[in-house]
Amino acid sequence: DALGQVVLGGALLFLDLQGLYSLGALDARIARECFGPSEQELLRQRVRELAASRAAVVQAVDAERRRIERDLHDGI
């Protein structure tokens, strides 16, 4: 009888911990949905990052092209 109660208590403790974990995960998800940036804002931010990255690459390629032109002009 005591062994059955221990097993039942262990099972209930396990289920309780799983329930608490699930509630915590659900709470975090709801908080992100309510208070986090929207999907559109995340996309806008990504577009800004990509535009800045593209501009930096274009600038670097242009500087390299000018360096090569200068070296060719100087006969190096």
Map out the domains of the chain as residue ranges: 1-36, 38-76
Query: In the predicted model, what is the mean pLDDT of residues 24-29?
Result: 96
Its pTM stands at 0.52
Looking at every residue in the chain, the average pLDDT score rounds to: 95
Q: What is the DSSP letter of 75?
A: T
Give the pLDDT of residue 61.
Answer: 98
Whether residue 76 has pLDDT greater than 80: no
Q: Rounded CA gap, 7 and 2, in Å?
A: 9
Give which of 40, 60, 41, 64 is closest to 52, Cα–Cα.
60
pLDDT band at 63 (very low <50, low <70, confident <90, very high): very high
pLDDT band at 3 (very low <50, low <70, confident <90, very high): very high
Q: Rounded CA gap, 40 and 46, in Å?
A: 10
pLDDT tens digits along 29-57: 999 889 989 989 999 999 999 999 999 99
